[in-house]
Amino acid sequence: MPNWVGVKKEIVDGQKNGKSLDEVRRVYLAELHEHTKRNVISYYSGWLQKPQTEGLGINDDDKNGFMLAIHGLDCTKGLDLILHTPGGDVAATESIVDYLHRKFDPQNTRVIVPQLAMSAGTMIACSASVILMGKQSNLGPIDPQLRGVPAYGAIHEFQIAHKEIKKDPSALSVWQFILNKYHPTFLSECQNAISLAKELVGNKLREVMFKGDKDRVKKAKIVVRYLTDYLKRKTHGRHINFDECRKIGLKIVALEDDQKLQELVLTVHHSYMQALSTTSAIKAIENHMGVAYVKMLSP
């Protein structure tokens, strides 16, 4: 299987011979399906390539992409969802997970993380029966963000302000410039988002990944507590590697255990990275038959 350089060369050579950039990627998506005999759907965001662009996170419009990608598939063959995302809206994530579980048996769904599935992406991963990761793969904390602000961070900041102002009222003159950036209901929205994230991940872990385990409630609590420990994580963007994910009890399968699978997944990943780097595409939802929902930069 070609590496990053090999994929780029294959794409360039193909274009010289009149092939589209998409053809190389779709060949390997089809090969991945043939190898696993399972449905494959990829969800890719271009946030690493176009970080200042709107619409890169998980949102309600993404369901249209999943509807298109699922149409015509034999859902009894299960689902392998290849996920590369910075996260996004918690309510939209909940709705997408619900839709996927209504189309596919939750016990026959796997999430594959070639590189990064952060925040709400981690929530989706935790809703699968198993997560496939490589040595280079990472999940992230599930503390939600509102308007680009980590919900836990905002609440923690407010608590510090309250404590300092109570101790020394003159500190208000310093803190007011910071607190003025929050509208009156922002903190309650943060708390609601945190509660929803915990509820979503906890429920799916108990119902899917840990289903049948005698201590599934305890296992779910351990995972949720770890993924929402803002003070320990220190930053919303903290990367959680393969070993940490296994240590907290998530059911993780190493991509390296199946060399053919690993090579196909990484080749598909490199193909998407090339496409997102060299075109105006900002997001792609695509199945192994080449049916794709692609969002482009607005003119």
pLDDT of 47 higher than 60: yes
Residue 19 has pLDDT above 60, yes or no: yes
pLDDT at 237: 64
What are the φ and ψ backbone dihedral angles of 250, each rounded to 5 degrees? -65, 145
pLDDT at 49 over 80: yes
pLDDT in tens, 176-227: 877 787 777 888 888 888 888 899 999 999 999 999 999 999 999 999 999 9
Q: What is the pLDDT of residue 175?
A: 82
pLDDT tens sequence across 231-256: 666 565 689 999 999 999 999 999 99
Write down the mean pLDDT value for the chain. 90
Q: How confident is the model at residue 264 (pLDDT cuts 50, 70, 90)?
A: very high
CB within 8 A of 143, min separation 6: which ones? 119, 150, 151, 152, 153, 194, 197, 228, 230, 233, 236
User: What tokens does 116 get?
Assistant: 């990064």
Residue 166 has pLDDT above 60, yes or no: yes
Helix (H) / strand (E) element for 45: namely strand 39-45
Q: Identify whether the C-beta of residue 282 lies closer than 8 Å to the C-beta of residue 296.
A: yes
Residue 246: the pLDDT is: 97
The number of domains in the chain is 1
Over range 110-115, report the average pLDDT: 98
Contacts of residue 106, Cβ cutoff 8 Å, sequence gap at least 6:
127, 128, 129, 207, 208
Say how far residue 169 (Cα) sits from the centre of its chain.
43
Residue 2 has pLDDT above 70, yes or no: no
- Token pair in block for residue 94: 């909940």
> What's the pLDDT band for 156 if we cut at 50, 70, 90?
confident
Query: Is pLDDT of 4 > 60?
Result: no
Domain that holds residue 226: 4-296
Q: Which of 279, 281, 273 is nearest to 114 (CA)?
A: 273
Q: How confident is the model at residue 12, as a pLDDT?
A: 67
Out of 20-24, 80-84, 124-128, 291-295, pick the least confident. 20-24
pLDDT at position 235? 60
**pLDDT at position 131, please?**
98
Determine the pLDDT at residue 17.
65
CATH code of the domain containing 184: 3.90.226.10
